[in-house]
Chain A
């Protein structure tokens, strides 16, 4: 790919700064209403969480044997969404893919806000969330330590590390651009606020040099990290002996699924944003094309994982595993969800083989929505279907989510959107310094 950004051709640096800062200083009309609506929707989450904490997780639809249900489905889904952000900002930075520049801040922000929703889930699922610190080793008076053979403690390490590293990476990249916002702000309050968060960035060559080194280091660290996080999440399942869970394919299968759903979420967010702020110059057909190809490619890996999982299960001498793949999933009570998952994740993305479809924002947006639904369904199939019919038919039980389960899922969607819109309102979500570097490299002869 050529590094040229069709984008900013002919724009002078000061005009480019103002153009990239426009969403912050001249917010789109209707943004306030959207913030209000999503903020009100977030109240659903807070009410549902408060109710869960007061009543206990009996408020949910979980039963025995389906002891893990919506909370874990949501956890895996949200944390998966986060993965594309790190993928775009870290892995594509290391691979020197310049098209990522326009998208990386949006994607990183999305990662952070998805992690907020994800982190909430296992915390609530603990039942007594106020004892969450029992999961970290601290010198307790009873001289007890957490059981580190348990994958629950691995999750704590993985998710908290991932959250902290994501925040650091996002903020480090943001500092020079907050300084531009500080220097271009028209009101004293804005200047002070951006000034504080810019930490006094002066833009000296020394600062740029260390900043760049740190960014590359964090990208290098975030790359194996992002692959490890969903691998560890998948081990929650894979180390259990349950048919449908106990499989070595889980880590790569989960990572591919995570990046798949994450790219779909990036598209879901970026396409309306591009339209509202007329960012066609920065997020052009080439970006859409690249994103669509990524979606298609990762989708094929996911499809392959489904095939491999089913193949191994059907060929195994283990009758329970065989039953899960041959009967319970395709023909059991949750069969419609299984087929919905295959339709959304395997069938629908195939339209992206067409170059015209890849360049059509509407088609992409619809495909992305299908993928999101499909990926949420996939997690439901993995988590719930595997549990509801295990070894003994006497212990089989059908799972039905409660209203509180629904409220939490709806609430996290609203809260996520609310946080994302807050970022769109106050944070320069198009990288300014990096964009200028690209423009400069592309247009100034050496």
Chain B
């Protein structure tokens, strides 16, 4: 029977050891919750490469093309204005707006993309119902995972204690659980 477990740790090192040990035990969907970014825990969780840089690059290119396209269309096709015989397609004069729009599109995409990838905004999440979870933003490190184990999760508790966990409990993280 598959159950979701939650373990609480007091330090990055314990948390990292726990993640490795739980994975060896056959844990799936490992996720850690911690007060600050830790490259060590991210390495232990072995997350996929973030698609954000590519998405930002593509949005920037779209921004550049859109801006240059609008400039070209308005100044050359729809409303060409001859000012003392100066060229209407003046590339140098198009640079500032094209550059700024590229940056705007790329930045908005990076921000919006980060929100989507982080699953935000989502004001309520079942994990918030776990008592003591509010310390995840302060000084505690939590690990959740799924495991096909025994009814009471004995191997999990044993391994967790060995890694220095402060507690290891089965939890219900289904939507609507309380």
A-to-B contact residues, CB < 8 Å: 12-14, 17, 137, 143-149, 151, 153-154, 157-158, 160-161, 164-165, 168-169, 172, 175-176, 179-180, 182-184, 195-196, 199-214, 217-218, 221-222, 224-225, 228, 232, 235, 433-434, 436-437, 440, 444, 446
Mind listing 12 A-B residue pairs with CB under 8 Å? A145-B78, A148-B94, A157-B100, A175-B120, A183-B134, A184-B138, A199-B121, A203-B33, A207-B119, A209-B42, A221-B106, A224-B103
What are the residues of chain A within 8 A of B158 when measuring CB–CB? Answer: none
Q: Closest approach, in angstroms, between the C-beta of B136 and any C-beta of chain A?
A: 5
Q: Closest approach, in angstroms, between the C-beta of B22 and any C-beta of chain A?
A: 14
User: Which candidate, B1-9, B107-115, B145-153, B161-169, is the interface stretch facing chain A?
Assistant: B107-115
What are the residues of chain A within 8 A of B127 when measuring CB–CB? Answer: 202
Q: Binary interface profile of B, 91-128, with partner A (CB < 8 Å = 1, else 0)? A: 00110110111011011101101110111111111011
A217 touches B52 (CB 8 A): yes
Q: Closest approach, in angstroms, between the C-beta of A376 and any C-beta of chain B?
A: 25
Q: Closest approach, in angstroms, between the C-beta of A230 and any C-beta of chain B?
A: 12
Excluding A205-B47, A209-B47, A437-B37, 17 further A-B contacts by CB distance (< 8 Å) are: A14-B138, A143-B79, A148-B74, A157-B100, A161-B100, A164-B104, A165-B103, A180-B138, A183-B137, A200-B124, A200-B125, A201-B118, A205-B41, A206-B31, A228-B99, A433-B36, A440-B36
What is the count of residue pairs linking A and B with beta-carbon distances less than 8 angstroms? 192
A202 touches B136 (CB 8 A): yes
Q: Closest approach, in angstroms, between the C-beta of A7 and any C-beta of chain B?
A: 15
B37 touches A211 (CB 8 A): yes
Whether a CB of chain A sits under 8 angstroms from the CB of B12 is yes
CA distance in complex: A233, B133 (Å): 49
What are the residues of chain B within 8 A of A151 when measuring CB–CB? Answer: 96
Chain A to chain B: the 4 pairs with minimum beta-carbon distance, closest first: A214-B114, A13-B139, A145-B74, A199-B121
B52 touches A210 (CB 8 A): yes
B34 touches A203 (CB 8 A): yes
Q: Which of A184, A196, A205, A213 contacts B33 (CB 8 A)?
A: A205
What are the residues of chain B within 8 A of A207 when measuring CB–CB? Answer: 118-120
CB closest residue in chain A, given B93: A149
In this complex, which of B111, B125, B139 has the most chain A Cβ atoms within 10 angstroms of its Cβ?
Answer: B111
Whether a CB of chain A sits under 8 angstroms from the CB of B172 is no
Using A148-B74, A200-B120, A437-B37 as known contacts, say yes or no to A157 and B50 having CB atoms under 8 A apart.
Answer: no
What are the residues of chain B within 8 A of A146 when measuring CB–CB? Answer: 74
Whether a CB of chain A sits under 8 angstroms from the CB of B13 is yes
CA distance in complex: A411, B145 (Å): 56
What are the residues of chain A within 8 A of B114 when measuring CB–CB? Answer: 172, 210-211, 213-214
A144 touches B79 (CB 8 A): yes
Q: Binary interface profile of B, 57-80, with partner A (CB < 8 Å = 1, else 0)? A: 000000000000011001100110
What are the residues of chain B within 8 A of A213 when measuring CB–CB? Answer: 50, 52-53, 114
Using A228-B99, A444-B13 as known contacts, say yes or no to A209 and B35 having CB atoms under 8 A apart.
Answer: no
Using A17-B138, A203-B136, A209-B37 as known contacts, say yes or no to A148 and B107 having CB atoms under 8 A apart.
Answer: no
CB closest residue in chain A, given B88: A149
Q: Which of A147, A201, A221 contacts B81 (CB 8 A)?
A: A147
Q: Closest approach, in angstroms, between the C-beta of B123 and any C-beta of chain A?
A: 4
Q: Closest approach, in angstroms, between the C-beta of B144 and any C-beta of chain A?
A: 9
A203 touches B137 (CB 8 A): yes
Whether a CB of chain A sits under 8 angstroms from the CB of B90 is yes
CA distance in complex: A217, B113 (Å): 11
Q: Closest approach, in angstroms, between the C-beta of A210 and any C-beta of chain B?
A: 4
CA distance in complex: A315, B123 (Å): 65
CB closest residue in chain B, given A201: B120
CB closest residue in chain A, given B32: A205
CA distance in complex: A197, B32 (Å): 22
CB closest residue in chain B, given A438: B36
Q: Which of A161, A196, A211 contacts B104 (CB 8 A)?
A: A161
Using A149-B83, A211-B118, A440-B36 as known contacts, say yes or no to A137 and B107 having CB atoms under 8 A apart.
Answer: no
What are the residues of chain A within 8 A of B31 when measuring CB–CB? Answer: 204-206
A228 touches B100 (CB 8 A): yes
CA distance in complex: A204, B141 (Å): 10
CA distance in complex: A330, B110 (Å): 49
Whether a CB of chain A sits under 8 angstroms from the CB of B11 is yes
What are the residues of chain A within 8 A of B103 when measuring CB–CB? Answer: 161, 165, 221, 224-225, 228
Q: Closest approach, in angstroms, between the C-beta of B156 and any C-beta of chain A?
A: 19
B93 touches A199 (CB 8 A): no
Whether a CB of chain A sits under 8 angstroms from the CB of B45 is yes
